Amino acid sequence: MENLPSEWMARQQQAGRRLCLMLEGNNCARRPLLAVREPLNYRCLYGETAAAELANAGPVILLLEHLNEPALVDLLQRPEAHWGWLGSLPDEDLTSVTRHWRERLLMGPAGSQALYRFHDNRTFARALACLPKTHWPPFLGPLISVCYWHEGTWRQAENPAPGEYPVPDPAPWLAVPNPQAEAILHANILRYLLAEHSENLVALFEFQDPRIWLTQVLEQARAWQWRGTEQLEFLVVRRLEEATRGSVVHWQPMTGEAPQEHFERLAGQWHRAGRRDE
């Protein structure tokens, strides 16, 4: 399977298709690959989107011409670096495929949107593994065939019906579970606490492992169905203050209280208590 990318690329070219590379933005191959290409032969995926300010550090999609291009050969020799994936298109026009992925870039409700990492081969491969093939066309769009690294081996997949599709609502690939989601959430919260509430976090560390403490707090959030960013921030920050400053909060929901009502009641109580202490 080590030769699959080369064999796959050769077959796509023999079929009259154009090859493209979806590349993670911070990869060291980005500069040499773009330096030898005309602007029409690559696109910064975050450009002309809500994430435009990240365009220069975001993913790019570019056309491949020479299979022995040094930067490309180097990438193919290091698939475990998770630099992206390969695709084939009916022609050299990147307009359709660029529009396709830009329309699938943001996920979540307005005000709390996040970037969908379609350029990461792990995210891309999980979607293909979990989606039924009937959902592949709206996910892959104009891509005819793709080649990617997944779980220690190269794989390829054929799009049953390449073309232009609107984004389904809801988009089925956003329901694909991420096995690293919990670890990512933990790391992001601890990073936030270190930046914004470092004094309390250091105080907590003196008598409890913050990772164990955070696991317990997030288990409580799941039990109460507090999933929103505002709810998680409130619970984590106030529980940290409670643990390090000795304050007492009656956290439990009332009988028949809905998750949002529970959150709003406690947030209101905390706000009123803070105003009394001023």
Q: What is the pLDDT of residues 198-236, one digit of tens each?
A: 999 999 988 889 988 998 998 889 889 998 889 999 999
Q: How many domains does the chain have?
A: 2
Q: Do 188 and 156 have their domain in common?
A: no
**Domain boundary, last residue among 159, 175, 191:** 175
Q: Do 147 and 74 have their domain in common?
A: yes
Q: Do 169 and 222 have their domain in common?
A: no
In terms of Cβ atoms closer than 10 Å to its own Cβ (0-12, 13-18, 19+), residue 134 is exposed
Is the preceding omega at residue 170 within 30 degrees of 0, hence cis?
yes
Q: pTM for this one?
A: 0.67
Residue 259's alpha-carbon distances to 7, 44, 194, 233, 264, in angstroms, are: 54, 41, 28, 15, 9
Q: Do 73 and 166 have their domain in common?
A: yes
Helix spans in 15-110 (H): 30-35, 70-76, 95-103
Mean pLDDT on 170-178? 85
Q: Do 170 and 185 have their domain in common?
A: no
Q: Which residue has the higher pLDDT, 148 or 220?
A: 148
Q: Do 39 and 122 have their domain in common?
A: yes
Q: Is the pLDDT of residue 133 over 60?
A: yes
> Which of 10-14, 211-215, 254-258, 270-274 ranks highest by mean pLDDT?
10-14
Mean pLDDT on 107-123? 83
> What are the φ/ψ torsions at residue 122 (nearest 5 degrees)?
-70, -45
Q: CB-side exposure of 63: number of CA atoms within 13 Å? A: 19
First to last CA, the chain: 67
d(CA 147, CA 79) in angstroms, rounded, equals: 11
Q: Which residue has the higher pLDDT, 41 or 249?
A: 41
Copy the structure tokens of residue 152: 């220690």
Q: Do 142 and 232 have their domain in common?
A: no
User: Are the C-beta atoms of 160 and 137 separated by less than 8 Å?
Assistant: yes
Among 86, 168, 97, 80, CA closest to 132 = 168
Q: What is the pLDDT of residues 38-50, one digit of tens each?
A: 999 999 999 999 8
In terms of Cβ atoms closer than 10 Å to its own Cβ (0-12, 13-18, 19+), residue 16 is exposed
Local structure of 244: helix, strand or coil: helix
d(CA 162, CA 159) in angstroms, rounded, equals: 6
Q: Do 127 and 50 have their domain in common?
A: yes
**The pLDDT value given to residue 276:** 46
Among 152, 114, 148, CA closest to 21 = 148
SS (H, E, C) 24-48: CCCCCCHHHHHHCCCHHHEEECCCC
Could you tell me the residue range of the domain that residue 225 belongs to? 181-277
pLDDT level of residue 271 (50, 70, 90 thresholds): confident
